[in-house]
Amino acid sequence: MTPFFIQAFAAINAKGIYSRSRGYIPWNDEHISGPVDIQRSQVYDKPFTGFGKLNCTEKIAFGAAALALSEVPDYTGDSTGICLGTVFGCLSTDLRYAESVVAGFPSPAVFAATLPSSPVADIAILFKLKGPDRVIAGSACPGFFALENAMHILAADKADCMVVLLVNGLEAQDRHFPLIDAENRSSNYAYAFILRRNMQNQSITYTLSLDFDTKTNKSLQNRSEESYFLEMVEAMMHNKNYDCSFKCNDTSGTLVLDTVGKLYTRLA
Amino acid sequence: MDQLINELKTKIISALKLTDIKPEEIDKNAPLIGEGLGIDSIDTLELLVLLEKEYGVTIPDINVGRKIFSSLQTLAEYVGQNRKK
Amino acid sequence: MSKTPIIGIGAISAAGYGAKQGYGVVKSGSDCLTPLSLFESGLKETPLCGQIKADVYKSLAADMPNRTSVLAMAAAQEAMAPVKKSNRLRLGITFATTVAGMTRSEIFYRELKKEPSHIKNAAKELAHHEPAACAGIVASKLGAQGFHTLSTACSTGLHAIGMAKRLIEHDRFDLCLAIGVDALSILTVRGFASLMLIDFTGCKPFDKRRIGISLGEGAGALLLGSEKAADQLGIRPLGFVSGWGASADCHHMTAPHPEGEGAKNAIHAALTEAGITRNEISMIAAHGTATPDNDLAEIKAMRALFDPLPPFCSMKRTLGHTLAASGAIEAVYAVCALNDNYVPATAGFEQADEAIGAAPSPGEQKQLDHILKTSFGFGGNNAAVIISKV
């Protein structure tokens, strides 16, 4: 597909917070040890009383989107949409809701938050983004698919700006819940990219190209999708180009399907 | 009544996760729903659940509920009169 | 932009198994809701729901992990009928669901609370909890080369169709099966009840007396393909997906924008893509969930866009609100209506609402060229699809 442009990006993950405007901020406060503890002031300057109500996934999705959008003063809410990819949504919320039903008092607010699309609604409502929204749930690489979807939407002229997110969230205390496999599901991360169809007038922009291969590549190792996104963001933080051939495997294990392709980001 | 009001303040802040707000900042005569505390219609339903769970108080429907929720004072009076716990 | 051929359709719902059969029931405006009997909901009153009896899909159920997967497979198989195994066409799947494996997980969870030792079964019981796992099973059985799973609540079914269209336009697949599925679950029923959105006596779309939704379950599948694929299969398409649009309300998590602003934008985008003018829309298969807010906002948006307003219908009293499946199932029946040149009646409607200012069609024969199908999801997620005659 013809290259698109990344106008801004941000990430919140196990290592810290990444954004061009604030630089790389590692977690170094004993009270704020990771994405789970993120404070509103770390990601958004204006008051937002609803921040406390957000679950972990919503908080970090919101945080990454807020940081990225703060660097894009020229976006038009009416023609900006969101594509979010998530492997697990927010398992904690699902559990919390199930608990409330079993206890006899289903919680309406928690029910509304069990939808994988609830972080998208929060972001759309606060930043007034009225363009198309889509949520890709699960599969091997929802983040790459979210990027692809955003490109399709831009190519079809349904929006001129897309906020692309890859998010996974899990509350800290729920890691110890026996139903959740601590190995696979314990990482919390949110990556946000502001994708444009056309080059914008500003100092630093990256072109992004993404193509999927129809045949698998036996010489490549399977890696987690997040590992590629981390490398990509770190390269962009240092104004470096990034090229990769990626291979991700279906994590739900029902169908052995490799998703393979090539991605590059280059200084425009 | 004041004790019940203070108790309600703490429970509401906790149930609705109003982390940026302290109990002393809630005016007992100000409207509960809307701009001030940022309480919306889903939060109102959460309040119904809270009242049933903590005080055994059921409110017949959401429209009656809106009148009771017009301020913390009216809510406390309703709970005081109808509580089963 | 291109018109994307619809090569096959499949549906299973409270109206029956089989697209044509279900359409016959929808057409006449029959009420297929029955008192909820699939499980104990724990509610004081039993709501009327669109339920599917087990014997309807018994033969498929054997090796499927949960009801959602069974229903999806039932619709998928019917839609895939035109494709013989020997075809070397690349098949993709776009899969829309909100409930997924929760129908089984919630039962396991309750038992786990009573008997903690059941934890040893967790891996097996929860293997298909997530939407992607349900999609994976169907993809595996159909020999698909790839699948995508979507979840944006009630609008997801139409998103699956829109995404399938793009994947074919961008030559990622020759055929793409858009599936929307949701099964009834305790958690969903209790959740909607806690939001006070349910009408226990049966929803009344666009009616003055409407107070809420009725839930339903089912699956709809549309097999889209490139023109080349349709030629190769020797199939005359059942219709075209000619336009698609989506937008966000930016208003509230569970209530629609009162003026239907987002809905207008989505419909406008679909019309632009289809390259047709507003007065070429012959019929609207509306979302019509029967909540006081939705029906008012939806028709307000329609009346602002269309003058005169084309005949419209809601299938929600016949099928129940099938959530993520609704866009897909109702689009399937809309394809049938298109070819039948008939606007279905709307079950549950009796008294017009002056505030809405329009009444659904009583059921009428009419030359249909382009049908507009709309769906609106929680969080203000709107989608619109235009299905056109061949």
The tokens for A19 are 């954004």
Q: Choose between B64 and C180: higher pLDDT.
A: C180
Whether A107 contacts chain B with CB within 8 A: yes
DSSP B27: -
Average pLDDT on A191-202 reads 86
pLDDT at A52: 81
Q: Which residues contact C56 (CB under 8 A, 6 or more apart)?
A: C12, C16, C17
Q: Is C220 helix (H, G, I), strand (E, B) or coil?
A: strand
Residue C321 pLDDT exceeds 60: yes
| Domains delineated in chain C | 4-388 (3.40.47.10)
Percent of chain C, pLDDT > 70? 99
Residue A31 pLDDT exceeds 80: no
Q: What is the C-alpha to C-alpha distance for residues C41 and C49, in angstroms, rounded to an integer?
A: 12
Residue ranges in chain C assigned as alpha helix (H): 19-27, 54-61, 67-80, 102-114, 122-126, 131-142, 156-169, 186-194, 227-233, 261-274, 292-305, 316-319, 326-340
Within 8 A of A109 by CB-CB distance, chain B residues are 16, 42-43, 45-46
* Closest CA–CA distance from residue B45 to any residue of chain C (Å): 7
CA angle centred on A48, ends A46 and A52, rounded to 5°: 135
Helices first, then strands: H and E counts in chain A? 8, 10
pLDDT at C219: 97
Within 8 A of A58 by CB-CB distance, chain C residues are none
Active site residue C257: no
* Closest CA–CA distance from residue C160 to any residue of chain A (Å): 10
Per-residue pLDDT band for A203 (boundaries 50, 70, 90) equals low
DSSP A115: S
Q: What is the C-alpha to C-alpha distance for residues C89 and C93, in angstroms, rounded to an integer?
A: 13
ipTM: 0.80
- pTM flag (> 0.90): no
Indicate yes or no: CB of A111 within 8 angstroms of CB of C195.
Answer: yes
Q: Is B7 helix (H, G, I), strand (E, B) or coil?
A: helix
For C21-51, write each residue's pLDDT tens digit. 999 999 999 999 999 999 999 898 999 999 9
Q: What are phi and psi of C153, to 5 degrees?
A: 60, -135
Q: Where are the domains of chain A?
A: 4-202
Nearest to C134, CA basis, from C188, C73, C79, C189: C73
Q: Which residues contact C48 (CB under 8 A, 6 or more apart)?
A: C33, C34, C35, C36, C200, C201, C202, C214
Whether C190 contacts chain B with CB within 8 A: no
pLDDT at A268: 81
Whether A50 contacts chain B with CB within 8 A: yes
How many Cβ atoms sit within 10 Å of the Cβ of residue A27? Answer: 17
**Burial status of residue C231 (CB atoms within 10 A of its CB: 0-12, 13-18, 19 or more):** exposed
Nearest to A13, CA basis, from A261, A248, A267, A237: A237
Percent of chain B, pLDDT > 70? 94
Q: What is the C-alpha to C-alpha distance for residues A241 and A247, in angstroms, rounded to an integer?
A: 20
Q: Is A211 helix (H, G, I), strand (E, B) or coil?
A: strand
Indicate yes or no: CB of C252 within 8 angstroms of CB of B41.
Answer: yes
Neighbours of chain B (3+ CB pairs under 8 A): A, C
Alpha-carbon distance values, B40 to A58, A105, B66 (Å)? 18, 19, 11
Q: Are strands C283-285 and C312-313 parallel, antiparallel or unpaired?
A: parallel
Q: Choose between A186 and C260: higher pLDDT.
A: C260
Indicate yes or no: CB of C127 within 8 angstroms of CB of A214.
Answer: no
Torsion of CA A218, A219, A222, A226, to 10 degrees: -130
- Residue corresponding to tokens 């490799």: A258
Per-residue pLDDT band for B21 (boundaries 50, 70, 90) equals confident
pLDDT at A185: 52
What dotted CATH number matches A4-202? Answer: 3.40.47.10
End-to-end CA distance of chain A: 17
Residue C229 pLDDT exceeds 60: yes
Which site among C43, C150, C173 would you substitute to test the A interface, given the most A Cβ atoms closer than 10 Å to its Cβ? C150
pLDDT at C179: 97
Q: What is the C-alpha to C-alpha distance for residues C121 and A93, in angstroms, rounded to an integer?
A: 22
Task: Tell me the sheet residues that pair with A29.
Answer: A32
